């Protein structure tokens, strides 16, 4: 087992412990030891343990895969080492066990919030052509995907999930920042600006220089709606249908969505 970012002895148990089962644990070393994830582990907010499935193989070549029954291309991850590795993990009541799988439940911000309340999240990284179905049945993991595309293995999706969930754990990131970011209210986040005030002839919207907090908040909300209509109309339709917009915002959203549909029809 490879413990990343060992927690100081004086800190309490982490809010979330991540256990990762992988054939390539080295892939996690650098990404999990930079920036916010590094600080979160050092502060004891989260713990990340990566386990090499090959440690549970029984032959001298540490063979974790084999050819598929029935023929076909690729190799299949064998059930015995994966299940043995899984059963060696500590069990914390209320844990979630996820299998990185292209055909699984789409991972989104709502699921990230779900997982941030779990004391333990186990992430199983498949590789090659797939995993022996009996291992999946024995473990009873939830299949999860980060998008409608195929990767070479489950390591990158596992890293994405760890990052997305960790930042929602209390004390890792300022709560106000989380509340105002994309998807927090069903919308894409508004544009941001900082110094210099003029960059290559591009200035700052006057409202942001006004010091009028209510006007700034209203401008940001409108920009979120406009940006969501432009790049994620599906999200805006959902937010509109859920009744999460004020009457004025709902009118703007409906107008933008109608205009967008007309442009594509033309």
Residue partners of 125: CB distance under 8 A and separation at least 6: 20, 21, 22, 23, 24, 100, 153, 154, 155, 157, 158
Parts of the chain with a pLDDT under 50 = 6-11
CA distance 215 to 213: 6
Task: Answer yes or no: are the C-beta atoms of 187 and 235 closer than 8 Å.
Answer: yes
pLDDT 10s digits, 145-169: 999 999 999 999 999 999 999 999 9
Q: How many CB atoms lie within 10 A of CB 239?
A: 21
Distance CA 100, CA 257 (A): 34
- Give the angle 41-45-47 at the CA atoms, nearest 5°: 50
The 3-state DSSP class for residue 187 equals: coil
Q: Tell me how far apart the alpha carbons of residues 94 and 255 are, in angstroms, rounded to a whole number.
A: 45
- How many other CB atoms are found less than 10 A from the CB of residue 185? 16
Please tell me the predicted confidence (pLDDT) of residue 127.
86
- Tell me, what's the pLDDT at 73? 87
DSSP annotation of 218 reads: H
Long-range contacts of residues 192-197, Cβ cutoff 8 Å, at least 24 apart: none
Q: What is the pLDDT of residue 179?
A: 64
Residue 142's DSSP bridge partners are: 98
């Amino acid at each position: 087992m490879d413990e990343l970012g060992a927690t100081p002895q004086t800190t309490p148990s982490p809010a979330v412990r991540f256990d990762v089962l992988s054939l390539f644990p080295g892939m996690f070393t650098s990404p999990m030891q930079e920036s916010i994830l590094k600080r979160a582990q050092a502060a004891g907010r989260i713990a990340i343990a990566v386990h090499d499935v090959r440690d549970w193989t029984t032959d001298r070549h540490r063979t974790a895969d084999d050819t598929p029954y029935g023929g076909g291309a690729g190799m299949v991850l064998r059930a015995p080492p994966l299940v043995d590795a899984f059963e060696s993990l500590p069990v914390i009541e209320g844990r979630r066990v996820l299998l990185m799988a292209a055909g699984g439940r789409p991972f989104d911000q709502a699921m990230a919030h779900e997982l941030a309340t779990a004391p333990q999240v186990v992430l199983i990284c498949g590789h090659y052509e797939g995993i022996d179905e009996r291992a999946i049945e024995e473990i009873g993991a939830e299949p999860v995907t980060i998008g409608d595309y195929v990767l070479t293995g489950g390591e990158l999706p596992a890293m994405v999930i760890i990052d997305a969930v960790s930042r929602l754990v209390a004390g890792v990131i300022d709560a106000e920042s989380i509340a105002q970011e994309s998807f927090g209210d069903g919308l894409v986040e508004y544009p941001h600006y900082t110094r210099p005030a003029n960059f290559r002839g591009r200035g700052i919207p006057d409202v942001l220089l006004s010091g009028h907090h209510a006007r700034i908040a209203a401008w940001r909300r409108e920009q979120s709606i406009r940006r969501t209509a432009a790049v994620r109309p599906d999200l805006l339709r959902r937010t509109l249908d859920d009744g999460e917009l004020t009457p004025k915002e709902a009118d703007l959203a409906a107008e933008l969505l109608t205009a967008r549909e007309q442009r594509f029809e033309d």
